Amino acid sequence: MNNYWGLSDISVRFCEDKYTRVFWIAEYYNTMSSLCYIIIGIIGSGYSKKIAVGLIFVGIGSMILHGTLRWYGQWIDEIAMLSTITFGIEKYKPKQVKKYYLPILIFLYINFYQKFIFLSSVFVFLSCYLCHVTKNKLYLSFSILGGLCWLSDQLFCDYFKQWNLHLWWHIFTSVGIIPLLIN
């Protein structure tokens, strides 16, 4: 394997074959599908600036993560994910999100990022809470579809490899956040 960016040092693995389309992009389809976040963030910037900027950073971080399979891409992607979901909760429940919540989340993430279960658990909890707060069925539906794709990519790679299910996680979760941006 090429390993253009060096040996992978991320704490999660993705099903997509590595360095097959372009010699300097580790996971081509996962990298390209990350553009969805950037596009929707740019379009949504007129509605909710914080969520839109968060989405743009999710896209950039995800592109770096999937393009290089290096820890710094993982940090940008996952800190942006936690920030964006916190901004979403803050938009709908501003009094519940204290100024110190996000710095504490980021501090914990930095200390536990090698334990992917930490990010997964916190992100799922915050997503469920955001679904509860917004009562937005479209956001809920797309989050569930994206989550099923992500889980299937992680747990059943041998069966679904050709479907590039993590790519669909990017598409569903980026499209699913549109109602939260514009409301």
3 state DSSP class of 171: helix
List own/partner pairs for 156-165 with CB under 8 A and 24 or more apart.
157/15, 160/15, 161/15, 161/16, 161/17, 164/15, 164/16, 164/29, 164/30, 165/15
In angstroms, the CA 72 to CA 86 distance is 21
Residue type, 9: D
Q: CB neighbours (10 Å) of residue 42?
A: 14
Mean pLDDT of 33-61: 96
3 state DSSP class of 50: helix
CA gyration radius, the chain: 16
Q: Which among 171, 103, 167, 96 is positioned nearest to 130, based on CA atoms?
A: 96
Q: Do the beta carbons of residue 143 and residue 176 sit within 8 Å? A: yes
Helices 49-68 and 71-92, packing angle to 10 deg: 160
Q: Do the beta carbons of residue 181 and residue 50 sit within 8 Å? A: no
Take residue 82 and report the two structure tokens written for it: 């936690």
Write the pLDDT tens digit of every residue in 126-176.
999 999 999 999 999 999 999 999 999 999 999 999 999 999 999 999 999
Burial letters 11-29, b for 16+ CB under 10 A, else e:
beebbbebbeeeeebbbbb
Write the pLDDT tens digit of every residue in 78-114.
999 999 999 999 999 988 888 878 888 888 888 887 8
In angstroms, the CA 88 to CA 54 distance is 10
pTM for the predicted model, two decimal places: 0.93
Q: What is the pLDDT of residue 96?
A: 81
